């Protein structure tokens, strides 16, 4: 059983910073892609950033230069450093793990709320 737990969300003023954390537990392959997605009220869920087990990163254009995704030393941990936050970043942020070991299973965290005020 794979579980993802996010933390670090909260309320911050525009221009501020937050650091989100995600830890995956359970039986996962060493070959996986972890990432962050977000969903604002009334909008579709969108990809924010991903990182492979080898450290290759990918970012949505809207967050390039402001957000940084990284892996921790512990297996299947991932962070999202968010700087220069804007009100448009307000959303529920979800951690995702795409396990490539067999057929590519996806696992999701419960989500953490990020609210950026003006």
Whether residue 22 contacts residue 69, with contact meaning beta carbons closer than 8 Å, is answered with no
What are 81-102's pLDDT values in tens digits?
999 999 999 999 999 999 988 7
Segment 63-90 shows an average pLDDT of 95
The distance between the two most distant Cα atoms of the chain, rounded to a whole number of Å, is 45
Q: How many CA atoms lie within 13 A of 54 on its CB side?
A: 2
Whether residue 15 contacts residue 82, with contact meaning beta carbons closer than 8 Å, is answered with no
């Amino acid at each position: 059983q794979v579980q993802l737990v996010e933390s670090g969300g909260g309320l911050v003023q525009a221009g501020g910073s937050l650091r989100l954390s995600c830890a995956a537990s359970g039986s996962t392959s060493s070959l996986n892609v972890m990432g962050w997605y977000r969903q604002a009220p009334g909008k579709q869920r969108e990809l924010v950033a991903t990182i492979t087990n080898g450290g290759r990163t990918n970012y949505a254009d809207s967050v390039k230069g402001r957000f940084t995704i990284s892996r921790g030393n512990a297996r299947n941990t991932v962070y999202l450093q968010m700087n220069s936050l804007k009100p448009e970043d307000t959303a529920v942020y979800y951690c995702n793990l795409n396990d490539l070991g067999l057929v590519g299973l996806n696992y999701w965290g419960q989500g953490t709320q990020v609210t950026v005020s003006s």
